[in-house]
Structure 1
Amino acid sequence: MYSHLYRLEKLREKVFAEKAQVAIISLPENISYFTGYRGPGLLIVTREKVELYVPVLEYWRAQECLTESDVQDLVELIAYTTYRLPDIGDILDRVVRAKPADIIAEKASKATKVLYDNMPLEAYLKLSSKKLVSISDTIAYWRSIKEDWEIERIVQAARISMQAVLATIDYISYGTSETEAIGYYMYEACIRGASSQAFPPIIAFNENTVYPHAVPSPDNVVVQGSPILIDVGVFYEGYCSDMTRSYQIGGRDSEYRRVFEAVYEALVSAIDRIEPGVAAKEVDEVARRVLRKYGLSKYFVHSLGHGIGLQVHEKPRLSNDSQDRLEKNMVVTVEPGVYIPRKFGVRLEEMVVVTSRGAKILTKGLPIEFD
């Protein structure tokens, strides 16, 4: 099922192709992509071997993650500690006393060319005499094209969020505060299998819906006619979901309905344009063109969407300045929004996977409209 071994070999091929001596990977999500272990550490890949350095308190969890992946025979696991633990060597295969920056400097000391993804500043300065080449964009592109087992995890993360949102909408009533609704949603997501939230949940009422990243308040409560915006996502086995719904409690008035229908048309039109080979910025423009028709484009103040996977924001970017092109098995969000100051905001967001026949919506189980 897992393909970490293939990914590590591809990274090693990159080391050879770039005529480098070592690749140093420090972003936790990238370490997870290559090994299955997600947490603080350093992945050191040379032409001869692969070493994973983790803090001593993460050693046993990392060991378990490697055992469950297909790279346990390739990766040497080493613990590091910045303070003296005199007896720890009795229970660990290997342990060193050093800071991450020192480990990086030591591993790159004989190299003339170093590949890296997200090097700590202290280590970067130590290696200023080396030829340093960032491969962040390369890894981000590799990660953007999902394997089937990754899509299955994203689908399950979406399913958990959808069920929790439906339960939360049933819970919200007159007098419910934003913080109460968020607490209820998080509980519902966790009992359904979420390991954590993919980002701080946004459940906004009334004028707070105007802010795309609204901060919840215990004093902002639902009243008759309250606009409501719910933007949430969870982690499931390392992968994220992200979805948004907007509605007005007690029925929509004419202005809210006009904006809602325009945003919905922008959403559907953009999704219909998604297929392999299409420029991501073209999909963004489709949504803006619809909102422009209704005189609402000036209220659409963010990009249309983003890739999603090990992180909630990944490549590709669906924005008007994106250089990305969509490819089969990319998973992206499509989230047009209109935010009218001192009134209300409406955002609708679907998760879709790019297939050879277009976009397949992963969040269909969550209705677009609510009474």
Structure 2
Amino acid sequence: MSLSLRKKRAVARAKAAGVDCLLVTHLPDVRYLCGFTGSNAALVLAGGRAVLFTDGRYTAQAKAEAAGSRVVIAKKPVVTAACEWMEAAGIQRCGFDAAQTTVAALEGMRKSVSTKVRRGLFQAVEPLVAGLREVKDAEEVATMRKAALLGCQLFDGMLSFMQLGLTEVAVAAELEHAARLAGAEAMSFETIVASGERSALPHGRATQAKLPKRGFVTLDFGVVVDGYCSDMTRTVHMGKAQPDEREVYDAVLEAQEAGVAKVAPGVTCAEVDEAARSVLRTAGMDKYFSHSTGHGVGLEIHEGPRLAAKQTQVLAPGMIVTIEPGVYMPGRFGVRIEDMVLVTATGGEVLTPSVKAWIEL
């Protein structure tokens, strides 16, 4: 999908929301609409006009990346400059993303314009651009498929690297180093390596703890390729497992595969969550599953939709979501398995096909 079409769709959504202009300040949204990747920007969409405001550090970059937008190099804060431009252009109702705009930021926007237009100019709207971003086009899918497969490659390499006595930090460092050498521009988030009793921490970031002689090791990580994130989790076991450890792993794997199998257009997010959760409920382990089943992924590691109980949003072709049930038993161990799944016209396609079968190292 061209940037021009993305901007037209955003303008159409703004019009439907009752505003004649959209002020975009969330940087992933800015990138999605105009291609600009800098760290300081505001984008105004007003009818057929797209104006990008940034600072002097990005003069050349903005003109190269945002070729379809007018670029203004602001001599003041970019949002202030954007608001002043809107007043001068006669904008009557400007929509802003209430989910991404703080009270302080809104107050600053109001102070940037004259009193006579301040009261009615700024109108809070739902996250219009975030909604557009939930459905990926073919180019985005191709990029995310590349990122996901790179993640699988990295996991496969870690299986021969992990051994007794290595610290969690050493494992994370090796994985991240390999990722950069393989072409990743960054990690999607701080790599999670949680071993032994720490595997019961859903977000157990890597520490100086050493991999155990016997116990689980959970790896949760992702890479960024051309701005798009991947996300996957695998749990392996060091040494010979106890029967109850294998029982938990098998239940989580069954739950995860049930969630994956449920992914299809027209299915609600709550139905996918229930498909995974019900397996753990039957096994008597649902009380140890403490988070939602999954989330969307894209330019950000956490995007819509959210796969959780009571979430009535319907899946649509082009969405990419995670399926990541887990069981976490404090003081003992935890298991999580996660895949990225593309919603297709007929079902779901796993983008992270790395092995999920039981592994003992």
Same fold (TM over 0.5): yes
* One-letter amino acid of the counterpart of residue 242, structure 2: D
- Checking the alignment, whether the CA contact within 8 Å between 2:28 and 2:299 is kept in structure 1 is yes
The answer on 1:11 being equivalent to 2:10 is yes
* Correspondence for 1:53: 53
Write the mapping of 1:1-371 to structure 2, written as runs, cut at 5 A.
2-39=1-38, 40-66=40-66, 72=67, 74-80=68-74, 97-109=75-87, 110-117=90-97, 118-119=100-101, 121-125=103-107, 126-127=109-110, 129-218=119-208, 220-371=209-360
Identify the range of structure 1 (284-293 vs 246-255) with the bigger mean alpha-carbon deviation.
246-255
* One-letter amino acid of the counterpart of residue 246, structure 2: R
SS at match of 1:129: helix
SS at match of 1:146: coil
Identify the range of structure 1 (319-328 vs 277-286) with the bigger mean alpha-carbon deviation.
319-328
* Correspondence for 1:88: none
Cα displacement (A) at 1:367: 4.1
Q: For 1:108 and 1:63, how far apart are their aligned partners in 2?
A: 21
Q: For 1:63 and 1:367, how far apart are their aligned partners in 2?
A: 45
Q: For 2:327 and 2:196, how far apart are their aligned partners in 1?
A: 14
Q: For 2:203 and 2:11, how far apart are their aligned partners in 1?
A: 40
- Checking the alignment, whether the CA contact within 8 Å between 1:111 and 1:130 is kept in structure 2 is no
Q: For 1:251 and 1:38, how far apart are their aligned partners in 2?
A: 48
Cα displacement (A) at 1:113: 1.3
- Checking the alignment, whether the CA contact within 8 Å between 1:22 and 1:44 is kept in structure 2 is yes
Per-residue Cα deviation, 1:122-141 (whole angstroms, up to 9, x for no partner): 44114362253344432222
Q: For 1:321 and 1:308, how far apart are their aligned partners in 2?
A: 20
Change (3 A) 1:287 1:244: same
Q: For 2:237 and 2:294, how far apart are their aligned partners in 1?
A: 24
* One-letter amino acid of the counterpart of residue 297, structure 2: I
Cα displacement (A) at 1:31: 0.6
Cα displacement (A) at 1:166: 1.5
- Checking the alignment, whether the CA contact within 8 Å between 2:184 and 2:224 is kept in structure 1 is yes
Per-residue Cα deviation, 1:297-329 (whole angstroms, up to 9, x for no partner): 000000000011111111111001323111111
* One-letter amino acid of the counterpart of residue 124, structure 1: L
- Checking the alignment, whether the CA contact within 8 Å between 2:194 and 2:218 is kept in structure 1 is yes
Change (3 A) 1:361 1:172: same
Q: For 1:368 and 1:137, how far apart are their aligned partners in 2?
A: 39
Question: How much identity, in percent, do the aligned residues show?
Answer: 28
Output the aligned Cα RMSD.
1.7
Cα displacement (A) at 1:11: 2.0
The alignment's TM-score, normalised by the length of structure 2, stands at 0.91
Cα displacement (A) at 1:291: 0.3
- Checking the alignment, whether the CA contact within 8 Å between 1:105 and 1:123 is kept in structure 2 is no
- Checking the alignment, whether the CA contact within 8 Å between 1:283 and 1:318 is kept in structure 2 is yes
* One-letter amino acid of the counterpart of residue 77, structure 1: V
SS at match of 2:304: strand
Q: For 2:126 and 2:233, how far apart are their aligned partners in 1?
A: 29
* Correspondence for 2:114: none
* One-letter amino acid of the counterpart of residue 255, structure 2: A
Q: For 1:369 and 1:3, how far apart are their aligned partners in 2?
A: 43
SS at match of 1:267: helix
- Checking the alignment, whether the CA contact within 8 Å between 1:101 and 1:122 is kept in structure 2 is no
* Correspondence for 1:93: none
Q: For 2:28 and 2:357, how far apart are their aligned partners in 1?
A: 32
The alignment's TM-score, normalised by the length of structure 1, stands at 0.89
Structure 2: state its 5+ residue gaps: 111-117
Structure 1: state its 5+ residue gaps: 67-71, 81-96
Cα displacement (A) at 1:63: 2.5
